[in-house]
Amino acid sequence: MERQEVIRLEHVTKRFGDKLVLEDIDLSVYEGDIIGYIGPNGAGKSTTVKMMLGLVDGYEGNIFIFGENLKNQDHTYKRRIGYVPENAELYDSLTAQEYLAFIAGLYGLEEGSARVKAHRLMMKFEIDHAMHARLSSFSKGMRQKVLIISSLLHNPNVLFLDEPLSGLDANSMLIVREILAQLSAQGKTIFYSSHIMDIVEKISNRIVLISGGHIAADGTFDELKEQNQKGSLQDIFNSLTGFSQHKEIAEDFVAIVQEEPA
Amino acid sequence: MNNFATLRLLDRFAPLFRRAGIDYPMLRLILGMKLTMDTRRVPTVFAQSKVKEGKNYFIRSLWIYALYGLAVIPFLFIDDYFFQLSIIFGILMFILMTSMVSDFSSVLLDVRDRNMMMTKPVDQRTISTAKMLHITLYMSLLTIATTGIPLFVSLYVNGFGFFLLFLAELILLNFLILMMTALVYFAILQFFDGEKLKNVINFMQIALTLGIILGYQLVARSFQFTSLDVTFTPSWWQLFTPPVWFGALHEALLTGERSLFVLLLAALAVIVPVIAMILYVKMIPAFESSLHKLSTVEQGKEKRTNRLKQIFLRFIAPNQEERNFMNFSFAMMKNEREFKLKVYPQVGFTFVIPFLFMFTTSENGSFEALREGSSYYLFYFTLLVIPTVISMVKYSGAYKGSWIYAAMPLKDRMLIDRGLTKSVLVMFYLPAMLILTPVFIWIFSGRIWLDLVVIIATAILYAAICTLALNGKSLPFSQPFSVAQHQEGIKAFVMMLVIGGFCLIHVLFNNWAFGLEIYAVILLIAILIVWTLGFRKIRFDT
Ligand SMILES: Nc1ncnc2c1ncn2[C@@H]1O[C@H](COP(=O)(O)OP(=O)(O)O)[C@@H](O)[C@H]1O
Ligand SMILES: [Mg+2]
């Protein structure tokens, strides 16, 4: 069976002012893919995701989602998309319950059933006790969980997760990892970025590494291992981003920290 | 979250919105969320995070507008529709437009909502309409608070027809103000980019505020006063002063005035708001999508440290920790978009109001008479900028960064407040002083030097008092902005009355021989006390 193409980037170039962030990116994503989108800080991962959601405009090239060019789409394609932003930014002064009800409403879900669903999901993440507390009192991990729930309430086909694991404890990370695996087995497409290499290594069926505005590697973990003759994704990441002297840098860093002021 | 009286009222218009192609349930949802958030104060780093289901602070601050509105009442008793309404609308437009420009610009130019809701399947038009309605709601409350009493008075004094027309005109005026402001920003967003865009917006705010003041002058000049009669003198520029349009509309409808020019003005009162609204609705999508320009941050260039500035700062703040807070405050005030949006219109006032008054008073006499007179007391108007700025410095878009206060090994809390107050004086008062002092000396000659010294000393004392009275224990840049902080405007307003008190004392001392010298010494001592013991008091209270 031919898998449907869900996302296609064609010659996408993005600048902020005169700073080139992405240059001539081509990328196709198919139904059921779990794509681990990795790259150094500031490589343009979040920017890529934001472009696909229409948050960042002003790019060259074309982005197709569900086969339609974004430039010709209205808002309706977003009904089938879930998004977890990177900075855990949400409306702080609302309670978790109010926030989730609001998001569910934006996705056009029926209020009563959405409320029950949100509550049940919160129970699974063991944060239901904080249902009626303001989000501003939530810890980073708790906020992250609320965001993950809010991105899944409407059972989307495609998930964009920008560092979804940040702030989660080891157990919760295991749960989320398993959720992603199972969602993808159901045919959902997942496009996520993360810096936790051993998780990316284990759950992605495809890894895209972006560096210096270009795609530096694209393939399954096994393919990348073969091409680069390295044993772990961490090593591949280091070698592809041209990085080998972490020891020296750390030594210098500590030396500077310990310098006596002149 | 969705049971506000406002929303239930809005429900009655649901079919209207549907017909305009707006997703009404979605609109209601978004507005409900906004109204809920308006009733909440986000706890600061130090406060407990109890969910305090508060009242809407904005609504609680409306009484002051009722006070402003009283200013309109005397004009209701004048027996000339044209004149009275032109003046009334001049005043109302002034009050409402300044509030729109300084309080709601940040809502209009908000990019946070965009980031939150653009990722959801919501129509752009619906988001924008929700935003517009949110502002409209507050503007309407403002208008009702301001004009409620005058409207009732007019019902008794001027009759039912007058009352109805007045009401209708108020609605038109609101539309006009809202759409005009939005369209001005829209135009700016189209033509500018990056850092320049942000500067132009602030510049435009100052220009708008000045425009309102000037417009008000023009309105007064449209009429000639002869012993008992007021006559209207037509002039081309009346085509650009909306208050006169409304006066003309009243005149045309209630007295049956048939002069072509007056009819034209009357027509403008109706046509312009409607056209502005149609234009705005057509432009909403383009407006929103150009808002993204505001979130683009330019690559910072390294700023060279100015040696002169360093020396100056070292002089006024010898303590290094205090100087550090000054530099921090400078950086925050320079970069905080919302802060600038709210403060800059007032900065415009500071520079212009003294001259405006001089101009008006010198109308009746010669320049010579002005020079001999005591109009230099108008220099006190420069103090106005101080409470405005100080009442805003506790807010920040990045209020969450305020954890640093708690985490840092701070020696002395006093240094924060003092550094902040000094930085406000340097950034907002010093320029006004440097520019206006020579001008004043030129106009009034050297004889007023001691008066100016006294006024500047007063400014220094007053700034400290403002910090103590307006900010108390709250740390700078530690609370989020919201519409609710409107109440600050009122406290700042009360502090402005204090300026009048200072001016009065000054006048009194000026009546005695050596009075001014004595007053200057008293002020100096007061400065020393307040800047040390006064600030120390905050620390002990915390
Ligand atoms: N709104 C913005 N304005 C200017 N530059 C930006 C903006 N957003 C991101 N950038 C720049 O684009 C680059 C990529 O950022 P981002 O996509 O957030 O990286 P990451 O891969 O870490 O998610 C960074 O260098 C960042 O400085
Ligand atoms: Mg990122």
- Which sequence spans correspond to the domains of chain B? 59-224+233-295, 307-537
At B48, is the pLDDT very low, low, confident or very high (cuts 50, 70, 90)? Answer: very low
Identify the pLDDT of residue B365.
64
| pLDDT at residue B297 in the model | 66
Contact B123 A74 (CB under 8 A): yes
What is the whole-number distance in angstroms between the Cα of residue A47 and the centre of ligand 2? 7
- Which helix (H) or strand (E) segment holds residue B224: the answer is strand B223-226
* A-chain residue closest to B296, CA distance: A16
Q: Which of A13, A14, A21, A192 to mutate to test the pocket of ligand 1 (most atoms within 8 A of CB)?
A: A21
Residue A91 has its nearest CB partner, among B29, B33, B123, at B33
- Extended beta strands in chain A, E state: 5-16, 19-30, 34-38, 59-65, 68-69, 81-84, 158-162, 189-193, 206-211, 214-219
Q: Rounded mean pLDDT of chain A?
A: 88
CA of A21 to the centre of ligand 1 (A): 7
Q: What is the distance between the alpha carbons of residues B325 and B426, in angstroms, rounded to a whole number?
A: 13
Set of chain B residues whose Cβ sits within 8 Å of the Cβ of A102: 1, 29, 33
* Whether A17 contacts chain B with CB within 8 A: yes
Instruction: Name, in order, each residue with C-beta under 8 angstroms of B496's C-beta and a sequence gap of 6 or more.
Output: B384, B387
Nearest-ligand number for the alpha carbon of A47? 1
Q: At B256, give phi and psi (nearest 5°).
A: 70, 35
The pocket around ligand 1, CB under 6 angstroms, is made up of A 16, 21, 39, 41-47; B 295-297
Neighboring chain A residues of B48 at a CB cutoff of 8 Å: none
Residue A157 at interface with chain B, using a CB cutoff of 8 Å: no
Q: In A, which residues are within 8 Å of B116 by CB distance?
A: 89-91
Q: Which of B18-27, B170-179, B438-447, B480-489 has the lowest mean pLDDT?
A: B480-489
Could you give the ipTM of this predicted complex?
A: 0.82
CA A81, CA A162: separation in Å to the nearest integer? 13
Residues of B with CB below 8 A from A83's CB? Answer: 119
- Whether the CB-CB separation of B244 and B266 falls below 8 Å is answered with no
Q: Which atom of ligand 1 is nearest to the CA of A43?
A: 21
Task: Flag the least confident range among A97-101, B151-155, B277-281.
Answer: B277-281
How far apart, in whole angstroms, are the C-alpha atoms of residue A28 and residue B103? 46
pLDDT more than 90, % of chain A? 44
Where is average pLDDT lowest: A163-177, A236-250, B474-488? Answer: B474-488
Partner-chain contact A17 B43, CB within 8 Å? no
Q: Say which of A81, A90, A106 has its CB closest to residue B26.
A: A106
Beta-carbon separation of B26 and A136 below 8 A: no
Q: Which of B37, B122, B299 has the CB atom closest to A19's CB atom?
A: B299
Domains in chain A, number = 1
| Rg (alpha carbons) of chain B, rounded to whole number | 25
Instruction: Report CA-CA distances (Å) from B64 to A203, B61, B71, B192, B425.
Output: 61, 7, 12, 37, 27
A131 touching chain B per CB within 8 A: no
Residue A19 contacts B, CB cutoff 8 Å: yes
Range(s) of the domain holding residue A226: 5-258
- Both tokens assigned to A66: 């569900």
DSSP string, B166-204: HHHHHHHHHHHHHHHHHHHHHHHHHH--HHHHHHHHHHH
Helix (H, G, I), strand (E, B) or coil at B285: helix
Q: Residues in chain B whose beta carbon is closer than 8 A to a beta carbon of chain A?
A: 1, 25-26, 29-30, 33, 36-37, 40-43, 49, 51, 112, 114-124, 194, 289, 292, 296-299, 480
The SS3 call for residue B480 is coil
What confidence category does residue A145 fall into, taking pLDDT thresholds of 50, 70 and 90? very high
Q: Residue B538: pLDDT above 70?
A: no
What mean pLDDT do residues B420-436 have?
Answer: 91
Q: How confident is the model at residue B185 (pLDDT cuts 50, 70, 90)?
A: confident
- Tell me if A235 sits within 8 A of A213, measured CB to CB: no
Ligand 1 center to residue B285 CA distance, Å?
A: 25
Count Cα atoms within 13 angstroms, Cβ side, for B26. 22
**Cα separations (Å) of B359 from B355, B435, B502?**
6, 18, 23
pLDDT on residue B44: 47
What's the pLDDT at B299?
A: 63
Give the Cβ contact number of residue B259 at 10 Å: 13
Suggest the residue from A46, A75, A136, A142 to mutate for an interface test with chain B (most B CBs closer than 10 A).
A75
Residue A85 pLDDT greater than 70, yes or no: yes
Q: Is the pLDDT of residue B43 over 60?
A: no
pLDDT at position B46 is 46
CATH code of residue A222: 3.40.50.300
Query: Nearest CA to B316 among B463, B517, B468?
Result: B463
Q: Given an 8 Å threshold on Cβ–Cβ distance, is B122 in contact with A133?
A: no
C-alpha B224 – ligand 2 centre gap (Å):
66
Rounded Cα distance, B137 and B88, in Å: 22
Q: Do A105 and B29 touch (CB under 8 A)?
A: yes
Residues on chain B touching A131 (C-beta within 8 angstroms): none
pLDDT value, residue B362: 59
pLDDT for B52 beyond 60: no
Given pLDDT bands bounded at 50, 70 and 90, which one contains residue A160?
very high
Relative to the CA of A17, which ligand 1 atom is closest?
4
* A47 alpha carbon – ligand 1 mean position (Å): 6
The distance of A127 to chain B (nearest Cα, Å) reads 17
Query: Which CA distances in Å does B28 have to A65, B179, B282?
Result: 29, 22, 21
How many whole angstroms separate alpha carbon B402 and alpha carbon A220?
Answer: 44
Alpha carbon of A181: minimum distance to chain B alpha carbons (Å): 24
- Least confident range from A2-11, A166-175, B44-53, B122-131: namely B44-53
Average pLDDT estimate for B462-466: 93
DSSP structural state of residue A37: E
pLDDT at residue B50 above 60? no
**Of the candidate ranges B6-20, B32-46, B93-107, B378-392, the one whose mean pLDDT is the lowest:** B32-46
Nearest chain A residue to B294, by CA: A56
Confidence of residue B363 (pLDDT cuts 50, 70, 90): low
Non-local CB neighbours of B282 within 8 Å, separated by 6+ positions: none
Give A191's strand partners. A35, A160
Ligand 1 centre from A42 Cα, in Å?
A: 6
Among protein residues, the one whose CA lies closest to atom 20 of ligand 1: A42
Contact indicator for A207, A200 with CB cutoff of 8 Å? yes
Nearest atom within ligand 1 for CA of residue B295: 1
Q: For chain B, what's the residue count?
A: 542
pLDDT at B499: 92
- Ligand 1 centroid, distance to A43 Cα (angstroms): 7
Mutation target vs A (from B120, B197, B287, B291; most A CBs, 10 A cutoff) = B120
